[in-house]
Amino acid sequence: MNKIKLGLVFVLIVSGVVGFTYFSESAMVVRVLSVLVGLLSAAFVARYTTQGQDFYVFCKESSVETKKVVWPTRKETLQTSAIVFAFVLTMALFLWLVDAGLMGIVRMLVSQDV
């Protein structure tokens, strides 16, 4: 029974996309609505498959875990961003100096008369 439901989900998604092309002469709202109706009805049917139920449980558990996260304060976020920005600037300067040095060495080697 689960495979039949998954097949129906696939058919509903395809019918939404086909509806988008079928209504090519209609207003864009109608075309987008055909895709949305196909996707929403497919999601409704998918909810009652084994995989859909597992995904629903996963989403609920993820939501619970997200509420447990301790988000940084504004001050912590700004401090961390400043440190990252300073590090990026330092590394950019370092890599520029290394590149310029290597370029100078290559120019010196190439310009020598052999």
Same domain, 51 and 95: no
Structure confidence at residue 25 (pLDDT): 87
- Give yes or no for residue 113 having a pLDDT over 70: no
| pLDDT per position as a tens digit, 4-15 | 988 998 999 999
Task: Quote the CA–CA distance of 65 and 51 in Å, as a whole number.
Answer: 21
Same domain, 8 and 52: yes
pLDDT band for 68, please (50, 70, 90 cuts).
very high
Q: Strand ranges (DSSP E) for the chain? A: none
- Average pLDDT estimate for 98-102: 97
Same domain, 83 and 62: no
Same domain, 60 and 74: no
* Total number of domains in the chain: 2
Q: How many CA atoms lie within 13 A of 42 on its CB side?
A: 18
Same domain, 20 and 64: yes
Where in the sequence is the domain holding 93, given as residue range(s)? 70-114
Task: Quote the CA–CA distance of 13 and 108 in Å, as a whole number.
Answer: 64
